[in-house]
Structure 1
Amino acid sequence: MKKYTTFKTGFIALVTINTLIIIANNIYVTPPINIRTQQLPAGRANDIDAIKALEQLSAEGWAEGNGKKMASVYTDRADYVTFNGEWLQSRREIDSLHQELFDGVLKGSSIENRKIQSIRFLTDSVAVVHITGAVKHKGAKKPAKSRDSIQTLIAWKNDGKWKFTAFHNARISRVSLWEGIMMSFS
């Protein structure tokens, strides 16, 4: 009987702790994230169309599982920072890593809910671009909310052609109470 009581007490404690963690994961300590959209600049229609075409070509390459096509929109020496902080330093590395992912965990995935949020021209040949979207895995009806991301890209016009020369991806996610507690211990 004593073994049963000890097991029962331990089981109840485990269930209680897990329940508290689940609740803490659904209470947020940061405010909702407001994604801004800015009007695209007037008088730059050809440049904007060229930048939009790059984004479309990259998304098509992703949907086809074609790393070379997906990476073709980047300069030879592009800097590309993934959502988890891996820093790729060339179009070849972008192609290689993505092809590995397309052949593995991202097989059959696509980029959904894509939207150019802003294009800001710093010069006639350099623009900062913000795009939102999410990876939808094969067989899923829609992307998981946890996959929502925002990317910052630098587009560069060289010899009359636009290419992306820098990319940084970040998840769009609020910090939960549980994550806040865990951060305070690290």
Structure 2
Amino acid sequence: MTGRKVAALVGTMVIALGIGSSANASGGDKAEFERILKQQYDAWYEEDGAKFAATFHKDADMVTFNGEHLSTRKGIAEGMQYYFDNYIPTSRLKLVDEHLRYARRDLVVIVRTTCIVETTDCRDGSLSRNTNVLSKRDGKWLQESFQNTRVEPLPPGVVPVPEPKGYTGSIEQIRQRQEDAWYEEDGVKFASTFSKDADLVTFNADHLRTRKGIAERMQFYFDNFIDTTRLETLGEHIRYVGRDLAVVVRTGCQLVPPSTECRPDSVSRNTNVLVKRDGKWTQESFQNTRYVPIP
């Protein structure tokens, strides 16, 4: 198979607010989500790492646009302040669109498209997509995880497939099934590890929605763009929130068989949010970002 080495696919972004699939957030929840978003955007403009991090739970995870993993509210505050002081020019964030979906009454997945504004328009090359997973603990909504990826569009296309049957298992079994599906270039098998209404944001920031949508676009890219490679896990950070919610941040790369060395420029970091139902885990959201170290 020929093609560019890509790990991802094209999805259509829509503005939608949802429960299960999509519906409106309740008035109280909507106000809280808007408050959290406004606080983040204000903190960005004010270059205030602590204020930015205050929108996260104490043990939260954040992966930046360059693939750096910031862990805990304190770590997010310190990491963001370093970025503000050394790399991020004074600017504002602009919301372009968003898709909101409740996975449970106390768990919401929001995929937003945003850009950086220095005057009145989006700065060239600043369009990005981020997955915000918020949970309600002790009656208060805060972010459990956040990951951002710069948008680099790829051609649209799908391979029609039947509705994939869902696969559930342990966290390790789900990871192994995804890695096997990648090597076998099997979009249906890859998508089976996700819930029926799941969200996936690829390394180039394409947003894939629903298990069927993930399967169709993954198969298109396996057939047309993705070279035969294996996925290699280099590191893993697992955090449990209660007994039935897990946030997994993994670092991985691609191997070109029979090589056992990471393919150049293939190291990436992804956030996997999993929910346990009836004793088995399934993925609610996934986002991948290429890792580009910053001093």
Could you tell me the TM-score, scaled by structure 1's length?
0.63
Q: Is the contact between residue 150 and residue 169 of structure 1 (CA under 8 Å) also seen in structure 2?
A: yes
Task: Using the aligned pairs only, state the percent identity.
Answer: 29
Partner of 1:124: 243
Partner of 1:155: 274
Number of residues paired by the alignment?
Answer: 132
| Structure 2, unpaired ranges of 5+ | 1-66, 72-168
Partner of 2:252: 133
User: What displacement does 1:175 show?
Assistant: 5.2
Q: Which amino acid aligns with 1:99?
A: Q
Q: Which amino acid aligns with 1:130?
A: V
Q: Once superposed, which parts of structure 1, at least 4 consecutive aligned residues long, lie more than 2 Å away?
A: 33-37, 135-145
Q: Is the contact between residue 68 and residue 291 of structure 2 (CA under 8 Å) also seen in structure 1?
A: no
TM alignment of 1:45-84, pairs within 5 A: 50-84=170-204
Partner of 1:99: 219
Deviation track 1:96-154 (CA, whole Å, cap 9, x = no partner) reads 11111111221422212x14511111121100001111123567664333110011010
Task: Choose the corresponding residue for 2:263, options 144, 150, 161.
Answer: 144
Q: Is the contact between residue 115 and residue 132 of structure 1 (CA under 8 Å) also seen in structure 2?
A: yes
Aligned CA distance change for structure 1 residues 107 and 82 (closer, same or farther; 3 Å): same
Look at both structures and tell me which one has the larger radius of gyration over its CA atoms.
1
Partner of 1:109: 229
Distance in 1 of aligned mates of 2:266 and 2:209: 24
Could you tell me the TM-score, scaled by structure 2's length?
0.41
Q: Is the contact between residue 133 and residue 149 of structure 1 (CA under 8 Å) also seen in structure 2?
A: yes
- Structure with the larger RCO, 1 or 2 (CA within 8 Å, 6+ apart): 1
Deviation track 1:136-178 (CA, whole Å, cap 9, x = no partner) reads 35676643331100110101001221001110101111359xx
Q: Which amino acid aligns with 2:210?
A: S
Distance in 2 of aligned mates of 1:100 and 1:55: 21
Where is the strand percentage greater, Structure 1 or Structure 2? 2
Deviation track 1:47-95 (CA, whole Å, cap 9, x = no partner) reads xx81011000110011111111111111011111101111111111111
Where is the helix percentage greater, Structure 1 or Structure 2? 1
| Structure 1, unpaired ranges of 5+ | 1-32, 38-48, 177-186
Distance in 2 of aligned mates of 1:125 and 1:135: 30
Aligned CA distance change for structure 1 residues 34 and 94 (closer, same or farther; 3 Å): closer
Q: SS of the counterpart of 2:170?
A: helix
